[in-house]
Amino acid sequence: MVKRSRILGCGSYLPANVVTNRDLESRVDTTDEWIVQRTGIKARHIAAEGELTSDLAVAAATRALEHAGVDAGSIDCIVLATTTPDNTFPATATKVQAALGTKGFALDIQAVCAGFVYALSIADNFIRAGQATRALVIGAETFSRLLDWKDRTTCVLFGDGAGAVVLEGYDAPGTSADRGVLSTHLHSDGSTYGLLYVDGGPSTTGTTGHVRMNGQDVFRHAVSKLSSVVEEALAANGMEPSTVDWLVPHQANQRIIDGIARKLKLSTDKVVLTVDRHGNTSAASIPLALAEAVHDGRIKRGDVVLMEAIGGGLSWGAALVRW
Ligand code: ACO
């Protein structure tokens, strides 16, 4: 027997305010047609003034706990992936801990759009090492706060939201037929730091800064790096692409997602898509998509779910999970 972690439940939260491409046409020199053709995005949710990353995280985590049917008091670890913490410190996860009444320890992790895969991997490792028994893994972002609303090349791409899962350790036979996290695969390459970054920070400018991106280079890296990490995840479990029931990708761009699905020869009805309605919500995008597909009945017990994501760093990764 080996220690594994399985997902007991999931939940998500989106701010009420929806901003469509048409709304953005009056703010920057862009068109609905350009945004849809280049990215597949039609709308995104934007947090209200005073609505914080911790508020989104608490709402998503509360729904995940309800879905899992467990009390907050039984959680002994929170790993919160965010690029937009409430404050530079302490960890936003500690605020979430206090609001929910969870025990143990709570930390934030920063891997931008790859954040949820990183957080899942970290929590899974805590559980398998015996340092935690039940964990909340959250991706939560108020990414709109990092946008330069005069820069049409970036401000049309992103949105706000949060998603969460409850992970629990159990003793499993140790085969790829086990339920839960089968494997996670993480990579980063700091030599590409300048392709996608925020031009501020506590140690550089003392300001928060705005997102800056070389879109074409990021696109090129995204397709090749995601394809290879997905192959790595399947090979590690002796699985073929045809074994995958659901691809739940980071939702940055429809064209990147289509490229990965094509390489895997996965039909589009096996790909969970939210990018059209959510835009790129960074670390929140995978758990938002996951919660949608679980709650509408697409993802069922026993299904093989492949998650993949890439973001600033560049940092990227994949997770293979049997639901
Ligand atoms: N509206 C209208 N025109 C625009 C806009 C806009 N919002 N933004 C850029 N343009 C213009 C450019 O100025 C350029 O005009 P020019 O030819 O007169 O100079 C033209 O459109 C083409 O610009 P490109 O940058 O070449 O457009 P491209 O086809 O590469 O699409 C995009 C840009 C959508 C950003 C694409 O490169 C991309 O998706 N890259 C991946 C980046 C990404 O997804 N990042 C998210 C974070 S990382 C991650 O999550 C994977």
Q: What would the pLDDT profile of 186-233 be if each residue is shown by its tens digit?
A: 999 999 999 999 999 999 999 999 999 999 999 999 999 999 999 999
pLDDT in the model for residue 269: 94
Known catalytic residue at 210: no
* CA 153 to ligand 1 center in whole angstroms: 5
Within 10 Å of residue 312's Cβ, how many Cβ atoms?
25
Segment 7-17 shows an average pLDDT of 98
pLDDT in the model for residue 78: 98
pLDDT in the model for residue 165: 98
Nearest CA to ligand 1 atom 14: 153
Model confidence band, residue 289 (pLDDT cutoffs 50, 70, 90): very high
Closest CA to 79 of 59, 55, 99, 104: 104
pLDDT in the model for residue 135: 98
Architecture (CATH level 2) of domain 180-322: 3-Layer(aba) Sandwich (3.40)
pTM: 0.97
Within 10 Å of residue 185's Cβ, how many Cβ atoms?
20
Residue 165: strand, helix, or coil: strand
* CA 85 to ligand 1 center in whole angstroms: 27
Peptide bond into 90 cis (omega under 30): yes
Residue identified by tokens 């997902």 is 7
* Third-level CATH fold of 2-172: Peroxisomal Thiolase; Chain A, domain 1 (3.40.47)
* CA 151 to ligand 1 center in whole angstroms: 11
Nearest CA to ligand 1 atom 46: 252
Identify the bridge partners of residue 187 per DSSP, sorted by sequence position: 316
CATH 3.40.47.10 domain span(s) along the chain:
2-172, 180-322
Please give the mean pLDDT across all residues of the chain. Answer: 97
Known catalytic residue at 185: no
pLDDT tens digits, one per residue of 26-48: 999 999 999 999 999 999 999 99
Known catalytic residue at 250: yes
Closest CA to 276 of 52, 18, 84, 82: 18
- DSSP string of 23-64, one letter each residue: HHHTTSS--HHHHHHHH---EEE-PPTT--HHHHHHHHHHHH
